[in-house]
Amino acid sequence: MRRGIISGRFGGIEMGNSKKRILIAGGAGYIGSVTVKSLIKKGYDVIVIDNLSKGIKSLVDEKAKFYHGDLCDKEFVNKVFSENKIDAVINFAAYKAVGESMQNAVKYSDNITGMINLLNAMVENNIKLIIYSSSAAVYGLPDKKIIDENEKTNPINYYGYTKLACEDLMSWYSKIYNLKYCSLRYFNVAGDGGLNYVDPEAQNILPIIMEVVFGKRDKLTIFGNDYNTIDGTCIRDYIHVLDLVDAHILALNLKQSEIINLGTSKGFSVKQLLDTTREVIMKDIPFEYGPRRAGDPANLLASNNKAKEILGWEPKQTLKEMIKSTYEAYKSREQIK
């Protein structure tokens, strides 16, 4: 594992006699880097850990204190905690490709090892709050069309299992050490947070569509057009990354442990997403229908009632805004080449 390399400086506002300092694991990634930017803008001090396996160092706000290293390196994690006063932790760090998780469980077990090292360091340093980037993958193939937090968890891939295992770890540490946690279960994250992020290994539908638009792929393949939906394609709940980040920051104020879904409760089919993208960017996008993928439910929508009640949160960005911001990010990157 890599040893830690540090750079950056602190900025922040006074809260009482001290500054609120947040450690963000995976802070150079898609969601993490936007969270870092937003926290610093709000006056927090931010410490970032990232192994840069997919994260991009240039996206990390220069006011953050950056450590290049891996959560699975126990000595490195302990060094970061020993060198900084930390008030809370947000953990985005994880491998996330569903298909790869079923081929390389050894690699994806690092998601669990990293969480154990984080929690142990929190206990050692008396840090009482962690916000966790979880996933709708913990539900597997749910029975309901709109899923609330009481839906049974039954992951059908190893990635989903690692997310659920980390939730279980936090629950046990909460019972034993009285730390508080908030597990935020995302549905389909989309949009750009103002950093012109381009996914280096696109796995999600909107980045894949953008790779077609900008010539990296010949066409989009829509997996299945015979589902019992409005047009035969799967319906998903898309949430803007900026709305997602807002929820993480609100969760820093929680006084009790919670598991909370994050979504809009509104669904769009894959074909509707494609058609809306064509409308927004005013370009044709070649596509074809392929066979269904194993394990794809027809509908996957989040109930966000608990997020509204507990966090005082609700999504603000529209699907068109998600598409436009993503397109502009990819366009900007293409112009740099």
Q: Are 257 and 174 in contact (CB under 8 A)?
A: yes
Active-site residue 181, yes or no?
Answer: no
Q: Are 237 and 301 in contact (CB under 8 A)?
A: yes
Burial of 19 (0-12, 13-18, 19+ CB in 10 A): middle
How many whole angstroms separate alpha carbon 215 and alpha carbon 224?
23
Which residues lie closer than 8 Å to 294 by C-beta, 6 or more apart?
Answer: none
Burial 227-249, CB ≥16 within 10 A → b, else e:
bebeebbbbbbbbbbbbbbbbbb
Q: From the candidates 95, 108, 159, 173, which is the catalytic residue? A: 159
**Kindly report the CA angle at 53 between 26 and 167, in degrees rounded to 5?**
40
The gap between the terminal CA atoms of the chain, to the nearest Å, is: 32
Which residues lie closer than 8 Å to 223 by C-beta, 6 or more apart?
Answer: 234, 290, 291, 292, 293, 296
Q: Are 66 and 6 in contact (CB under 8 A)?
A: yes
How many whole angstroms separate alpha carbon 98 and alpha carbon 245?
23
Active site residues: 159
